[in-house]
Amino acid sequence: MPATVRQHYELYPYPSYPLLASVRRCDTYALNLSALWARFNGELPAGPARRMLIAGCGSFSPYPFALANAGTPITALDLSQRSLRRARLHCLLHRLSSVEFVPGDLLDQTVAPGPYGFIDAYGVLHHLEHPEVGLRALAARLTEGGILRVMVYSRYARSEEESIRRALRLLKIDRPEQVRDLVRRSKPGSRLRRFFDASDEMSFRAGIADALLHPCVQTYRIEPFLELVRSSGLEPLLFAHPGALAEVNQEVERIRELETRRSAPGNFVVYLGKGVHGPCPEGTAVFTLNPCLGQAVSFFRRGPVRIAGRLGSPNPPLDREERCFLRRFRKGVPATELSGTDLERADRYAERLFLLRHRPL
């Protein structure tokens, strides 16, 4: 990876959230390793599978991952020492200590060598000079059955940022203050002014720098992205960007159709797998509550509980009756003890990761 990328994040650690910024544990449910492993492998993780890597962790991600996975060993890897220091401080301020912070390049397989049961590379591959090399390096760190989440820029979702980014490079503008000055001098209603007014990222220096001044950016249409995945030996398991269909091939076809109109569903978010075993057969399954949701379904909660959607669609608010249903699974409940209606309901919650469907321990 070019040294300029490291320098960029030393200057502009991203994201730039306040150190006391917090998230509710229930909103981290889709980061829980046991839930993800059960979803794609039909069992609870054991041995090397109980380790996680955040590749290109930035200044914030270790905090929600540690919150979602109490006691699970997590390695946070990043090029930028400044980003790692801020991420470490954020965790310490929230009394989270299960994260090991490692400086280094994900292309160097002697750094954080694994194996890992889950790797997160959210917003990372598209900043590599050779993303295919980076994806293969991450795939090599996965244990059998391992899961890798990636987010990459979509060509059409990113088109306005890329137009502005190219123009700024031609103008030799390379600092957020210069961009802000250009916006102040731009005409009301201009493309630049409209973009700034519509984007929350433009309200802080690191956001401007990451969106418009990054030295290395790749964007993808769906076919080149799928070819990138195939070259790594991994398989797509689930698309998770907003509006994504649950079945992979159907979502690919939907994106292809959108791209004929030069449109996209947003940037691509997808879970990839390495020899995953598939879900647990229903006849032998046990259902267990996602550990992140314990307080959310507590008997003492009043009113509907709203939990952020993380797998392509919003979650309906949990009313009292739904919370009561989920509380039944604080301890594992065999599928054989559920009525047909309750089993269908439990299956739906397992697809959303609210429940873990797994083989008996």
Q: For 250-297, how does the pLDDT look when each residue is reduced to its tens digit (9 = 90+)?
A: 999 999 999 999 999 999 999 999 999 999 988 899 999 999 999 999
pLDDT at 334: 97
115 prior amide bond cis, ω within 30: yes
Single-letter amino acid code for the residue at 262: R
What is the spatial distance between Cα 341 and Cα 306, in angstroms, rounded to a whole number? 24
pLDDT, residue 181, reads: 95
What pLDDT, on the 0 to 100 scale, is given for residue 2? 47
List, for residues 36-57, the tens digit of each pLDDT value.
999 999 999 999 999 999 999 9
In whole angstroms, give the CA distance from residue 101 to residue 13.
15
Nearest of 216, 217, 199 to residue 208 by alpha carbon = 199
**Average pLDDT per run of 10 along the chain, which is 361 residues long?**
81 93 96 98 96 97 97 96 97 95 96 96 97 97 98 96 95 95 91 91 93 96 98 97 96 98 96 96 93 92 90 93 96 95 96 96 83
Helix (H) / strand (E) element for 340: namely helix 340-351
